[in-house]
Amino acid sequence: MALTRDFRETIGERAGRDPEFRVALLTEALNLLFDGDIATGRNILATYINGTLGYQSLGEKLGTHPKSLMRMLGPKGNPRANNLFAIIRELQRHEGVRFDVTPVRE
């Protein structure tokens, strides 16, 4: 018997009840994607989806089968840019936020 809860389950439950946390998840996912950590960015997007609207609802909104979305964001996923940005656009719409890219010199 496990003594601790599954990490993804814990994160998903918090995402379901905490709007600021959801926005922080989306922000982190986008930052990771822009920084080139595609696998982790996809993983955080998947966690957000699982904790909020779910793949079934997202698939209906995008006209894409939920299993296809799961594969795109899964460990071996490789979504095309148009699919990834469609997902991000719908998650922004769902959350009621819009992200802007701001250049920062390093």
| Structure confidence by residue, pLDDT tens digits, 2-27 | 556 677 777 777 877 888 999 999 99
Please tell me the predicted confidence (pLDDT) of residue 3: 56
Residue 62 has pLDDT above 90, yes or no: yes
Please tell me the predicted confidence (pLDDT) of residue 40: 94
Please tell me the predicted confidence (pLDDT) of residue 17: 84
Residue 91 has pLDDT above 90, yes or no: yes
Please tell me the predicted confidence (pLDDT) of residue 12: 76
pLDDT band at residue 36 using 50, 70 and 90 as cut-offs: very high
Neighbours of 46 (CB within 10 A): 22
Higher pLDDT residue, 28 or 1? 28
Query: Structure tokens of 80?
Result: 């095309």
**Distance between CA atoms of residues 70 and 77, nearest Å:** 8
Q: Are 1 and 7 in contact (CB under 8 A)?
A: no
Q: Mean per-residue pLDDT for 37-45?
A: 94
In angstroms, how far is the first alpha carbon of the chain from the final one?
48
Residue 92 CB partners (closer than 8 Å, separation 6+): 26, 98, 99
Please tell me the predicted confidence (pLDDT) of residue 5: 65
**Residue where the block lists tokens 């993804």:** 8
